Structure 1
Amino acid sequence: MKNNHNPKMGIHPTSSECLPARNSSMNTIYKSNRRKLLDSLATNVPLQNVFFNTSVGNGSDRVYGLAWCRVDVSPKTCGKCLNDTITTSLTRCPESKSLVTYLSLCSLGFSNDSFFGELWDSSSSSSNGGDNFDDPLVFSKGYSMMQSLIGNVSSQPLMFETGVVDAGSDGKRYGLGQCRRDISKLDCEKCLEDLLTTYHKFVLNQTWWDMRAMSCGLWYDHVRFYQDDLRENRDDSEVSNPIPSGGEKWYKGDMTLVFVAFLVLHWI
């Protein structure tokens, strides 16, 4: 797998890759099922502790899908992120039967083959604060906190965990890790550890950064971006944007942000 590290792409990169489904062509029945599935995801994810997976249809016209949001966003923000993602996906890939897309606040994927419970880690992305550098000793404390946090994410019922480290006069550093709830504990840890390994040098000494894949994500900041009880509904004004203007983005894999077919997994 090649690595495409692409700096300063802006808040919402737009390039995509849409591939046809294996041994199958798009028809009106599948397209209708896809629409029903996507509507169901956008409706149910905010109501189901920010994760939901389902399928619609039968036989070759059956479509499988799942979506999740970051745990600290409100139901309204979660639903908006998913609806915006769906609109963009169908506009750019109107004939696609399988794709994945992930933003900082939500992730979504669908396919004509079941992928539930599978770790999808062929690509990922990272953002950081650009010129906003931290003291190396403070960063080291924060990064160690994130490493420790990884081991706790998979043991939580909702597959997320938060962490904080006191840096004295430099304040505190906050972290959050999250995985899709349909993958195993081992796959969750692998996904998060792969993100840290892949992007360590690109977030070095940054005051804020995030790392994301379809199956997991890590978020880190010098300002607190979550509440103590992340299961409580939040006011939308409290939702932080982890990719402010002036930051940088880095990418792994053959896509940008990502619209990518799952079919490679099934062709092998």
Structure 2
Amino acid sequence: MVSFCQNSTEKTNITSYRSNVNNVLSWINSNSAAGTVSNQTVVHSSNHDDDVYGYYDCRGDITGSFCQFCLTTAVNDITQRCPNGVTAMIWYDICIVGYANQYFPGKVTLTPSWNLTGSKSVKDSTDLGKAVNYMRYLIGKVTTKANNHWAMGEFNWSDNEKSYAWVQCSRDISKDGCRQCLETMLDKVPKCCGTKVKWAVVSPSCGMEIDNNKFYQLQTGSSSPLPNRET
């Protein structure tokens, strides 16, 4: 789990803004409880100075009670971690929640970004290239297939050990915006994560992850398993 909180004394002292933040977070809880896995809203103030925009999204393979539980946990945590935030977001492995005082739907948001890595290192120097190439393959899938904002699949390291990969974009951005976001995250990998067999790089608009343990599930109605692609 990673989080971001931006404070401002100008906003945090305004009762109407804090009230609107609370209304957005309450809306996320109630909307997700109805079974919606991704949505966005705005709570307006009379002069629009204290408008709050909120959003949430679950990983593409996560639905139902798992999605709702993650979002409920995220709302509780974002309240505790960022009690006076003007802009805040929190990312878990299977969901993201955020709010801001500026309009963002449809915009590609690349910052803040986070990277997480495991402790185990790859065994061969060519494995970074294998991971990057497979991620490019998934980026191609998710940015060319209509009505698809996520993709996942598996590939083999140089020692034939399997690795599992996932990419996803926010559902409100264009295919071009999705590609821009994912390629920007992928460009960070060689410096932050390329020597590890487990890593994730995420931003508000997109994310990607690789793990030697299968962390996703393929459900009825979701995408078929992507083919193993040798690089």
Please, what TM-score do these two structures have when normalized by structure 2? 0.79
Secondary structure at 2:89's aligned position in 1?
Answer: strand
1:119 is matched with: 108
Give matches, 1:1-268, under 5 Å.
12=1, 17-20=5-8, 26-45=13-32, 47-48=35-36, 50-58=37-45, 59-156=48-145, 157-166=147-156, 170-229=160-219
Q: 1:189: how far off?
A: 0.9
For the residues of structure 1 that align with 2:83 and 2:128, how far apart are their CA atoms?
A: 43
Give SS of 1:161's match: strand
Question: Cα distance, 1:20 vs. partner?
Answer: 2.0
* Structure 1 residue ranges, 4+ long, deviating more than 6 angstroms after superposition: none
Cα shift at 1:161: 1.0
Q: Which structure's residues are more often strand, by fraction?
A: 2
Inter-CA distance 122–74: structure 2 relative to 1 (3 Å threshold): same
The alpha carbon displacement at 1:212 in A equals 0.8
Is residue 5–residue 85 contact of structure 2 (8 Å, CA) maintained in 1? no
**TM-fit CA distance, 1:209:** 1.4
Q: Secondary structure at the match of 1:154?
A: helix
Counterpart of 1:183 in 2: which secondary structure? coil
Q: Secondary structure at the match of 2:99?
A: strand
Question: Which amino acid is 2:20 matched to?
Answer: N
Equivalents in 2 of 1:191, 1:87: separation in Å?
Answer: 28
Cα distance between partner residues in 1 of 2:30 and 2:96 = 14
The amino acid that maps onto 1:222 is N
| Shift of residue 214, structure 1, vs aligned partner | 1.0
Aligned partners of 1:13 and 1:167: how far apart in 2? 28
Structure 2: gaps (5+ residues):
223-231
Code of the residue aligned with 1:18 in structure 2: it is Q
Secondary structure of the structure 2 residue equivalent to 1:204: coil
- Distance of 1:130 and 1:194 partners within structure 2: 24
State the match for 1:254 in structure 2: none
Alpha-carbon distance in 1 for matches of 2:6, 2:16: 20
Q: Residues of 2 paired with 1:230 and 1:203: CA distance?
A: 33
What is the rounded CA distance, in whole Å, between the counterparts of 2:197 and 2:2 in structure 1? 22
Aligned-partner SS, 2:176: helix
Percent of pairs identical after alignment? 28
Contact 1:154 1:179 in 2 (8 A): no
Distance apart, 1:37 and its partner CA: 1.5
Q: 1:166 to 1:91 in 2, by over 3 A?
A: closer
TM-score by length of 1: 0.70
Q: How many residues align?
A: 218
CA distance in 2, matches of 1:230, 1:202: 35
Please give the per-residue CA displacement for 1:166-193, whole angstroms capped at 9, x wherever unaligned. Answer: 4586233221100001112112111111
TM-aligned CA distance change 1:25 to 1:131, over 3 Å? closer
Cα RMSD after superposing both structures: 2.8
Larger RCO, structure (CA 8 Å, separation 6 or more): 1
Distance 1:37 1:17 in 2: 16
CA drift at 1:67: 1.2
The SS at the match of 2:135 is helix
